Chains A and B, each alone.
Chain A
Amino acid sequence: MNEVISVSGLVKTFGRTRALDGLDLTVRPGEVHGFLGPNGAGKSTTIRVLLGLLRADAGSSRLLGGDPWRDATTLHRRLAYVPGDVTLWPNLSGGEVIDLLGRLRGGLDPRRRDELLERFELDPKKKGRAYSKGNRQKVALVAALASDAELLILDEPTSGLDPLMEEVFQECVRDERGSGRTVLLSSHILSEVEALCDRVTIIRKGRTVETGTLSELRHLTRTSIRAELAGPPDGLADLPGVHDPEVKDGTFKCEVETARLDTLLRRLTEIGVRGLTSQPPTLEELFLRHYQDDLNGKGASTGSSGARDAKAGSR
């Protein structure tokens, strides 16, 4: 077991609400792992269980080789956490909070701290109550990034940052990966996850619905095809795996399940292709598909079989 985080069958209920319902999550050493899900899916609850702030009702969870509840204090010295909603002590300055959190964690690198303050353009002299949401988040980010923790747990860390700072954040996370740290990044911002993450776990209603590398996940979804054809597009629409076919002035457009792509391409070349554009699925489409499954009500079955496929594929 050398995984940094390994969670399986995690269950957490609050009264009648089942916040986590058999959730699985595996994070390997040195990877940036994207943790995706709509609001209320259970991302923050999972993180709180991993931090030993909540006690799980069932399932197993290991963090850095220890038990997140029993060994909380010793494990916490090896990780740094940035909450989604950062509140600071109103009469402590930002600089004081950064140093304090660092010391509570067992030390931080003063050079790196100053460098990060500069990169994030953060004034450390302001009092906690005077910072805006984005600046409060920067305080927590600097404190976490300047630590020498082996694992960073970031819960929607950029929701208050402007696009420029978002860019700085992405650079910093790439640096962290370069220096061998493991990052669990929970996020809403799909472009961010796409840009940063090696592997992704998508959860919905407290369950894992997809997990794997981005390319594995892409494999499970559809590619958009737009082809200018030499002949009539006979039979294309009836091919297995082709969705939303559309023919207009000799141009054929459709979405095709990525696994069935070659069947379609073979048929297209038989007809004769004058021009072809193909667009791989974006993470957004991947993500939205699970929403759509929800909306269409057929949902969970395709979702969880997808997850199994992806896991099988990644092993």
Chain B
Amino acid sequence: MTALAGTGALTRLALRRDRIMLPVWLYLIVFMAASTVSSTKGLYPDVASRAELASNTNDTPALVALYGRVYDPTSLGAVSMLKLNVLAAVAAAALSIVLVVRHTRADEESGRQELVGATAVGRRAPLTSALTVVLSANLTLAVLCALGLTIAGLPAAGSAAAGLAWGGVGMAFGAIAAVFAQLTAHARTATGYSFAALGAFYLIRAMGDASGAGGPRWLSWLSPIGWGQQFRPYAGNRWWVLLIMVAFAAVMTVVAYSLVSRRDLGAGVLPDREGPAAAAPRLRGAISLWWRLQRGSLLGWAIAFMVLGAALGGIASNVGDMVGSQQAHDLITKLGGEKGITDAFLAAEMGFSAIFAAAFGVQAVGRLRAEETGQRTEPALATGVSRWRWAAGPVLIALFGGAVLLLLAGAVSGAVYASQSGDGAQFGRLVGASLVQIPAAWVMVGVVVLGYGLLPRLASLGWAVLVVFLLIGEMGPLLKLPGWVMDVSPFAHTPKLPGTTWSVTPLLWMLAITAVLVGAGLWAFRRRDITS
């Protein structure tokens, strides 16, 4: 088996390179699973409350499309699996895709594999070691999740089924990524195609799950994500679904191996798409270059915001029924009525969309740093482009892109909610509620611009700051943090719309702070050395 020579050494090398990323990722998935179970236990303590949640969920197509169905309304485990099953499966799939591409095509593209390939390493060894790593990762994930869920208080058999379902989905997508890594010549493209497959399979499952009794429910069976749900942990534990997953992964693996033996090192099977021989007239300045670099990402975010908006609008009309226990329901009705609950729900979700819009901003401005460390800033600044103009591109995209994303979420959710509730005024209310989120998201853009202007490394601190603001908002009231700590987060100053009275003053303050941060960041950027 000379084609496999060196697999062991490569596997050890891969595990060494992943020694931090892999445990962190596994820990996060297990932690997410266990904490979901404990919060579900708190929110829906008795069978009656679970049954109500389950029937409301199963009756709301938007929710079913997003998360799937609850297959056993009485079991705590099955109710916990709502949201969690899909989330954990997607997380396992993403981890597997990243792992496989990283150890196959990315290594090959960077030339590291050539260095290794010239030693006593067989032709099939890199793929074999990548698959070994991803298989071990998914097996570990299955075992740890089964243990975590059992310790959180769920039945052991169902927990094992859940762990295997997620590991199985992960393995299926690892094998898909292995095929794409052979087909395309570039790691970016292989990752892109694999994630596109993940998205497509998610959609197929959503269509299958959401369709009515006479509809194409079989679609769910065409998707690995659907298999993860049809495993039905805590609701029958259909162990035989694992066989479908294993068979699928095996077929994909065989395809990947046959591609390996047919192609040259460094080459892909699919031809590289060619670009134009000359630039279009509109690609003529720094701003148009930045638009070209970021429009794809903005489009992806826009689609995500519209899907989110549609789901929000669809859920909004059923929110009143979904609050778990009867006591909680009574309490909220006393406080503001069903309309109050719906508004509170929408305001909370709009607050989340502000955080996502801020994440887009952090990413868009962060691209400045990627360009600088990638040594593409230097040749651009050596032309007639001023630093001011160079940095203005991603800042404008972050600001206006973020605003457009929020507007889209507001308009789509408003349109869906208005049409479902028959109340046309809801459209304007939700658009308004989304627009007031803009200033807080912009403050985050300002924070990143200032960081980057001072020192490129500080741009990535933007993510940490965003997570801290998110945690302050979510955990602050629980931890009884002092008011001034809560006030550090710009998101705390956004009016809770729709449904409350509000004032424009905090918004104006946030706009002013944004202007100061952006101005100071650009000023600092104009004065500092460009790193190389």
Q: Chain A interface (Cβ within 8 Å of chain B)?
A: 44, 48, 51-55, 72-74, 76-77, 79, 81, 83, 85-101, 103-106, 124-127, 129-130, 140, 153
**Additional 13 contacts, C-beta under 8 A, given A53-B529, A95-B275, A99-B279:** A44-B532, A51-B378, A53-B382, A53-B532, A55-B527, A77-B384, A83-B375, A87-B374, A95-B277, A96-B275, A98-B279, A124-B278, A127-B272
Which one, B280, B379, B527, contacts A81 given CB within 8 A?
B379
Give per-residue flags for B276-294: 1 if the beta carbon is below 8 A from chain A beta carbons, else 0: 1111100111100100110
Would you mind naming 27 contact pairs between A and B with Cβ atoms under 8 Å apart? A48-B532, A51-B382, A53-B382, A54-B529, A55-B527, A55-B529, A73-B385, A77-B383, A81-B379, A83-B375, A87-B375, A90-B188, A96-B278, A99-B279, A100-B279, A100-B289, A101-B379, A104-B383, A104-B385, A105-B383, A106-B384, A125-B274, A125-B276, A125-B277, A127-B275, A129-B188, A153-B382
Interface residues of B in 323-355 (CB under 8 A from A): none
Most buried by A among B280, B381, B382: B382
The answer for the CA separation of A55 and B376 in the assembled complex, in Å, is 19
Q: Shortest beta-carbon distance, A245 to chain B, in Å?
A: 47
When distances are taken between beta carbons in the complex, the residues of chain A under 8 Å from B273 are 127
From known contacts A83-B375, A88-B376, A130-B272, infer whether A95 and B278 are also in contact, taking CB-CB under 8 Å: yes
When distances are taken between beta carbons in the complex, the residues of chain A under 8 Å from B430 are none
Is the CB of B380 closer than 8 A to any CB of chain A? Answer: yes
The answer for the CA separation of A209 and B527 in the assembled complex, in Å, is 31
Give per-residue flags for B372-401: 1 if the beta carbon is below 8 A from chain A beta carbons, else 0: 001110111111111100000000000000
Which one, A55, A79, A86, A100, contacts B283 given CB within 8 A?
A100
The answer for the CA separation of A230 and B387 in the assembled complex, in Å, is 72
CB < 8 Å A-B pair total: 116
Q: Which residue of A lies closest to B283 (CB)?
A: A100
Contact A129 B186 (CB under 8 A): yes
Q: Chain B interface (Cβ within 8 Å of chain A)?
A: 185-186, 188, 272-280, 283-286, 289, 292-293, 374-376, 378-387, 527-530, 532
Give 4 nearest A-B pairs by CB, closest first. Answer: A93-B275, A99-B279, A104-B383, A81-B382
Contact B275 A54 (CB under 8 A): no
When distances are taken between beta carbons in the complex, the residues of chain A under 8 Å from B384 are 73-74, 76-77, 104-106
When distances are taken between beta carbons in the complex, the residues of chain A under 8 Å from B383 are 76-77, 101, 104-105
Contact A104 B375 (CB under 8 A): no
The answer for the CA separation of A90 and B370 in the assembled complex, in Å, is 12
Contact B276 A53 (CB under 8 A): no
The answer for the CA separation of A86 and B374 in the assembled complex, in Å, is 10
Contact A140 B379 (CB under 8 A): yes
Q: Shortest beta-carbon distance, B31 to chain A, in Å?
A: 35
When distances are taken between beta carbons in the complex, the residues of chain A under 8 Å from B529 are 53-55
Contact B375 A72 (CB under 8 A): no
When distances are taken between beta carbons in the complex, the residues of chain B under 8 Å from A90 are 186, 188
Q: Shortest beta-carbon distance, A131 to chain B, in Å?
A: 10
Q: Shortest beta-carbon distance, A27 to chain B, in Å?
A: 17
When distances are taken between beta carbons in the complex, the residues of chain B under 8 Å from A72 are 381, 386-387
Which one, A83, A91, A97, A104, contacts B285 given CB within 8 A?
A104
Contact B274 A48 (CB under 8 A): no
Q: Shortest beta-carbon distance, A160 to chain B, in Å?
A: 13
Q: Which residue of B lies closest to A153 (CB)?
A: B382
The answer for the CA separation of A81 and B385 in the assembled complex, in Å, is 13
Contact A73 B386 (CB under 8 A): yes
When distances are taken between beta carbons in the complex, the residues of chain B under 8 Å from A74 are 384
When distances are taken between beta carbons in the complex, the residues of chain A under 8 Å from B289 are 89, 100
The answer for the CA separation of A95 and B378 in the assembled complex, in Å, is 19
When distances are taken between beta carbons in the complex, the residues of chain B under 8 Å from A92 are 275, 292
When distances are taken between beta carbons in the complex, the residues of chain B under 8 Å from A52 are 381
The answer for the CA separation of A99 and B530 in the assembled complex, in Å, is 24
When distances are taken between beta carbons in the complex, the residues of chain A under 8 Å from B284 are 100, 103
Which one, A73, A124, A130, contacts B277 given CB within 8 A?
A124
Q: Which residue of A lies closest to B296 (CB)?
A: A91
